[in-house]
Chain A
């Protein structure tokens, strides 16, 4: 443990918040410059802490005020948190570049609320996320989580329209319900064990009624904040309604905070308390998220809503690793390849989804609408934006050498080893769905327009470059991550086997898009509705109904409580059986 390295941990949390305070004092005309300086300094701090972590090869710790836990509070950085911090720092820098011209300080000197708030909130989200990654105790994590929510919610209603205010309020209320469940769980743990420090708690906690209840309450509360299906009540309207630079933050970064906390809780605090059957439930929710989220995405008519529903589906992927991370006897969760895959997937999704939302936002800003049906000719008018969208889509599909590909490969190996073949099916099928909505959008943008496309304004080069480079980051992530994983995992992307599987995925996706989308894909298909569409159309409508039902307030909150009960029951049963 080097002194410099652990000091970097404090700075990683402190710098963004100092930036917020400085921006607040210096006002709207200077806030963008303050944000730029903070982001550059923050990047340096994160990279230096990563270096000292690699050098010391053991977790970095910093005791606040030199007080040791249980009375004091520790900041800890293990491999998990360093990896996530790096990914988040890169995405924050990319988003800032994208928003640079959109949220420029006012030229006429009159301060506007939106650009001023945007930069403050971006920094606040970053600081809260770093705190989530570094906190060593469950109560600090609660505070960090709330900070994250408080800085995420105003991003939804940055433009102040009534509709977005409503989505923001829904988001806030549901997230608050989730965080109270988390806090209740933490309080129960304190009552039983007298500490909330993760390292101390991990040694003390034993399977029993209190630990099970606490684990179930905390998990479900965090799932509500992550918006894992069927608890995604707030996500689609919030993510689709926010300005694109805000959606990118919400979709790429904010939901990763609560996801990371579930990982901490399950892997670090109570790996022996949670059971294989409860992990199966978690992954089953993930599989449902992929299925329903993708199908509803295919049936959207607006590009931003399509991307928002694809986020619902992608959140599902992040939870598939839980049952695959148990050891051979199925008794305890281990930090192994499956967890690596999960972190890789989270980073891949963060970069790709930020790029995708940015591209969608550029299309919206340039055309003044984002109706998928009327996107003909966009590919010619905005080639770089469309390229960014396509690359982000390829990265999400898991084409070699994207991060999602490597993650899928690791998870497939884990599924094969533990004999859980059903997750193999989900992992392979999910890519086809992703391909489906990519095909849907790409067919639309490449169509020849009946009237020439008129752009309201030209997208700024910097924004386009930011979207493209984040998407490319995600596509090349496997190469960057090859250090810690064996090298034979990456095959040649042009090898016949890989080409064939990519082709199969794209064709499967095309068929899905053809069958499930609301309107016919192209002139060829428009002739008349074949029997495929006649069968699959109503099936798609059924999934839309499911989504609508889950997004009603009453059903969502009853589902929240029943899932808490179900998790507890599965943990009790898992031990008894």
Chain B
């Protein structure tokens, strides 16, 4: 039966699924950061639904998850800010914004081969 809670729950699941797909398949770090935020939104929506349902506490609408949610959003925001800052620095330093392991490997091999003084 489609109730409001079920509908929002399904939306949350869909968001988490979309985000996970993006996190795995997109090679670009900025898109990974966006995907992380989409998963985050899904989890927060799920938490909202749980608050709306009254959770296990048996209240009509549970205020505790909302307080936790706000903290969660702050944490996710700081994580995003840190990741974007790192990405910008990476681009400034190397001129590319790629995470690819091959690039890292050749770089470290090159460093191994040239004797540094």
Residues on A close to B: CB < 8 A?
70-71, 139, 142-143, 146, 149-150, 153, 157, 160-163, 165-170, 172-173, 176-177, 180, 183-184, 187-188, 190-196, 204, 237, 301-302, 368-369, 371, 548, 551-554, 557-558, 561
Contacts and interface: CB of A to CB of B under 8 A. Distances in A.
Contact of A146 (B75, B103, B104): B75
A149 to B, nearest CB: 8
Nearest to A189: B56
A167 B104 contact: yes
A142 B57 CA distance: 21
B70 to A, nearest CB: 12
A176 B43 contact: no
A-B pairs with lowest CB-CB distance, top 10: A194-B56, A162-B94, A162-B93, A194-B57, A191-B50, A165-B90, A557-B24, A193-B56, A194-B55, A169-B86
Contacts of B107: 162-163
Interface string B10-48: 000000100010011101010011001001100100110
Nearest to B99: A170
B3 interface: no
A161 B93 contact: yes
B112 A176 contact: no
Contact of A192 (B56, B71, B90, B93): B56
A183 B56 contact: no
Nearest to A456: B117
25 contacts: A146-B79, A157-B86, A162-B94, A165-B89, A165-B90, A172-B82, A173-B29, A173-B99, A176-B36, A177-B23, A180-B43, A183-B72, A187-B43, A187-B46, A187-B65, A188-B46, A190-B55, A191-B56, A301-B112, A368-B117, A553-B27, A554-B24, A554-B25, A557-B24, A558-B24
| Residue of A162, A192, A369 ringed by the most chain B CB atoms within 10 A | A162
A421 B108 CA distance: 41
Contact of B116 (A369, A552, A557): A369
Nearest to B111: A163
A177 B99 CA distance: 16
A71 B86 contact: no
B50 A190 contact: yes
Dominant SS at the B interface? helix
A482 to B, nearest CB: 42
A153 B82 contact: yes
Contacts of B111: 163
A190 B65 contact: yes
Contacts of A149: 79
Interface size range of chain B in the complex? 35 or more
Contact of B83 (A161, A169, A184): A169
Contacts, number: 128
Given A172-B82, A180-B43, A301-B112, A190 B101 contact: no
A136 to B, nearest CB: 15
Interface in B77-96: 78-79, 82-83, 86-87, 89-90, 93-94
Contact of B93 (A71, A160, A369): A160
Contact of A160 (B53, B71, B89, B116): B89
A155 to B, nearest CB: 13
Given A167-B104, A172-B82, A187 B47 contact: yes
> Which of A173, A193, A204 has the most CB atoms of chain B within a 10 A radius of its CB?
A173
A150 B74 CA distance: 13
A143 B16 CA distance: 20
B71 A150 contact: no
Nearest to B19: A180
A210 to B, nearest CB: 10
B64 interface: yes
A139 B36 contact: no
Contact of A369 (B43, B104, B115): B115
B90 A180 contact: no
Interface string B54-76: 01111000101100100110010
Contact of B101 (A302, A369, A371, A553): A553
Given A173-B83, A180-B40, 14 more contacts: A163-B111, A165-B90, A165-B93, A166-B103, A172-B83, A173-B29, A173-B99, A176-B36, A180-B39, A184-B16, A187-B47, A194-B55, A371-B112, A553-B101
B99 to A, nearest CB: 6
A553 B25 CA distance: 9
Contacts of A162: 90, 93-94, 107
Nearest to A195: B56
